[in-house]
Amino acid sequence: MLKLYNSLSRKKEEFKPYSEKVAMYTCGPTVYYYPHIGNMRAYLFMDNIRRVLKYNGYELNGVMNITDVGHLTSDADEGEDKMLVASQREKKSPWEIAKFYTDVFMKDVKKLNIDLPEHICPATEVIPEIIEFVSELLKKGYAYETSKGIYFDISKFKDYGKLGGMNLEDKLAGARIDVDEEKRNPADFTLWIKAPKEHIMQWQSPWGMGYPGWHIECSAIGKKYLKDEIDIHTGGVDHKPIHHENEIAQSDALEGHQVVKNWMHIEFLQVDGGKMSKSLNNIYTLADLKEKGFEGEDFRYFYFMAHYSKQQNFTFDALTSAKNSLKTLKNLATEHKNSDARLSEEELKGFEDEFLNAINDDLNMPLALAVVWKMLRGKKSKDAYGLLMKFNKVLGFNFDEETIPQEVLELAKLRWQAKSEKDWARADDLRQKITNLGFAVKDSKEGYTINKI
Ligand code: AMP
Ligand code: ZN
């Protein structure tokens, strides 16, 4: 039985999706700068959940947004659009900034072998859906217009603050004095911002030219791809008190019922025991780690060393120890692969059950790794290697020797046959199927080779 901690109920719960195909939403990056390894911990967390769900036999419908407009310098809608700040800093258009940093992000997640969601959607691609969403909220009386834009009226949504465990009165009383006298409540947040003429990113709307607030993009993108039933929504703990409260308010108000069943949050990655910050010069990217001789999968191993609900402290010593462990683990794996000895069914089942119990206990990856070590340090056998390859569907390391799945081998055979019969359409279709499974076929005169993408 898979159990996951739900930030909403503050309990570990048995995972029961709305349907067999799990609908999962992840708050994606704001593409205004290089992602750091703290951000990457959040996407490894997404990967971790996705792989564990697949290991349990679920199919997935995953969605992640790319924030390329509307995220102001403070999450509580103050300051300037981060994209514009970057655009001034780098003397490029916000579109160029978004493209550049989206590419960097995609390369980084690839280096970490992150299992990406089925849909990745930039905010600027769903402006009509956002406008529609805001219009509906206005119609239902949850939103109102001021000279600055359209705001969500939090006093109309009785559950506001339920994720952070704060009731509405506390939230209203606790909000700092807002200078905007047009707002009904200080903590009301922006759905749509009316743009001054010189603002570069703006779109036509029923309320004049403007651009969306940050929170609404996630609700609109979630609705577009996952409708009104989302099984799991992930993000970093920093998103809990504002961004995710606001997402809940918007989506649940629109649909008239709870949209997200299970909220899951990853605790922060600390560096040298403290926050990553520019002034301490300790914000590291994957490129910085590479420069010091560390690969993406070394950081992936490091991620597994702590539970996601605990802060994890990054030091180069800890990363070095992760790197060394991974190297030893791979060497042991090769020894198992080359052994002709066998393990009994019972022994294998023992390891398999222990591993499954660990990952299904709210993703206890440190314990899952301990099971892997116990197995690899035991009697060398081909069977243990086979089981390790199965576990690796969750771990996601690059074992050079990783075997190509039977399904891919068969598809490649059929494709070769289709080609020899000059049935190009079928051959292309089969190639696509192989690509979807994460492999690439390369043809030569003699035949074809298959590689992992
Ligand atoms: P952003 O691009 O700033 O919206 O952040 C992308 C993701 O990274 C969000 O889910 C954040 O919660 C998460 N995040 C930011 N800093 C850290 C950190 N130090 N540790 C873990 N997650 C983080
Ligand atoms: Zn979001």
Count the domains in the chain: 2
CA dist., res. 282 & res. 36, Å (int): 10
Nearest of 31, 33, 24, 109 to residue 300 by alpha carbon? 109
| Averaged pLDDT, 198-215 | 94
pLDDT tens per residue across span 24-50: 999 999 999 999 999 999 999 999 999
Instruction: Tell me if 230 CB under 6 Å of ligand 1.
Output: no
Cα 234 to Cα 231, 308, 343, distances in angstroms: 10, 12, 39
Residue 381 near residue 342, CB atoms below 8 Å: yes
Question: What domain range is 99 assigned to?
Answer: 3-266
Whether the pLDDT of residue 79 is over 90: the answer is no
| Averaged pLDDT, 162-185 | 71
**pLDDT value, residue 246:** 96
* 230 φ/ψ angles, rounded to the nearest 5 degrees: -115, 125
Whether the pLDDT of residue 127 is over 70: the answer is yes
Atom of ligand 1 nearest to the CA of 237: 12
Q: In what order do the strands lie in the sheet with 260-266?
A: 119-122, 59-66, 21-26, 230-236, 260-266
Residue 343, domain member (yes or no): no
Residue 388, domain member (yes or no): no
- Percentage of the chain beyond pLDDT 70 is 94
Closest ligand relative to 220 C-alpha: 2
Residue with the bigger pLDDT between 83 and 232: it is 232
Whether the pLDDT of residue 124 is over 70: the answer is yes
pLDDT range class, residue 278, cuts 50, 70, 90: confident
Whether the pLDDT of residue 169 is over 80: the answer is no
pLDDT range class, residue 55, cuts 50, 70, 90: very high
Which of 239, 266, 293 terminates a domain? The answer is: 266
**pLDDT value, residue 245:** 96
**pLDDT value, residue 409:** 80
| Averaged pLDDT, 341-355 | 96
Residue 349, domain member (yes or no): no
pLDDT tens per residue across span 295-317: 999 999 999 999 999 999 999 99
Whether the pLDDT of residue 178 is over 90: the answer is no
Pairing of strands 72-74, 143-145: unpaired
Which of 206, 241, 266 terminates a domain? The answer is: 266
**pLDDT value, residue 170:** 62
Whether the pLDDT of residue 76 is over 80: the answer is no
**pLDDT value, residue 339:** 84
Atom of ligand 1 nearest to the CA of 35: 2
| Averaged pLDDT, 316-330 | 95
Which of 266, 289, 310 terminates a domain? The answer is: 266
CA dist., res. 243 & res. 187, Å (int): 12
Q: Where are the alpha helices (DSSP H) in 23-75?
A: 37-55
Closest ligand relative to 243 C-alpha: 2
Residue 290, domain member (yes or no): no
Atom of ligand 1 nearest to the CA of 239: 12
Residue 4 near residue 12, CB atoms below 8 Å: yes
**pLDDT value, residue 239:** 94
Whether the pLDDT of residue 320 is over 60: the answer is yes
**pLDDT value, residue 154:** 95
Pairing of strands 210-212, 189-194: antiparallel
Residue 392, domain member (yes or no): no
pLDDT range class, residue 446, cuts 50, 70, 90: low
3-state secondary structure of 235: strand
Q: What's the alpha-carbon Rg for the chain, to the nearest Å? A: 24
Cα 97 to Cα 34, 94, 106, distances in angstroms: 11, 5, 14
Beta strands (DSSP E) in 289-378 are 312-314
Average pLDDT, the chain: 92
Lowest mean pLDDT among 4-18, 321-335, 439-453: 439-453
**pLDDT value, residue 19:** 92
Q: Tokens for 166?
A: 């704060």
- Which residue has the CA at smallest separation from atom 6 of ligand 1? 29
pLDDT range class, residue 176, cuts 50, 70, 90: low
**pLDDT value, residue 109:** 98
Instruction: Tell me if 70 CB under 6 Å of ligand 1.
Output: no
CA dist., res. 377 & res. 386, Å (int): 15
pLDDT range class, residue 443, cuts 50, 70, 90: confident
Instruction: Tell me if 238 CB under 6 Å of ligand 1.
Output: yes
Do 408 and 262 sit in the same domain of this protein? no
Instruction: Tell me if 53 CB under 6 Å of ligand 1.
Output: no
Whether the pLDDT of residue 160 is over 90: the answer is yes
Residue 172, domain member (yes or no): yes
pLDDT range class, residue 171, cuts 50, 70, 90: low
Residue 145, domain member (yes or no): yes
Residue 11, domain member (yes or no): yes
Residue with the bigger pLDDT between 177 and 206: it is 206
Closest ligand relative to 71 C-alpha: 1
Instruction: Tell me if 239 CB under 6 Å of ligand 1.
Output: yes
Residue 390 near residue 348, CB atoms below 8 Å: no
| Averaged pLDDT, 54-75 | 92
| Averaged pLDDT, 277-303 | 94
Instruction: Tell me if 39 CB under 6 Å of ligand 1.
Output: yes
Q: Tokens for 389?
A: 């390859």
The domain that contains 136 carries what CATH number? 3.40.50.620
Whether the pLDDT of residue 439 is over 90: the answer is no
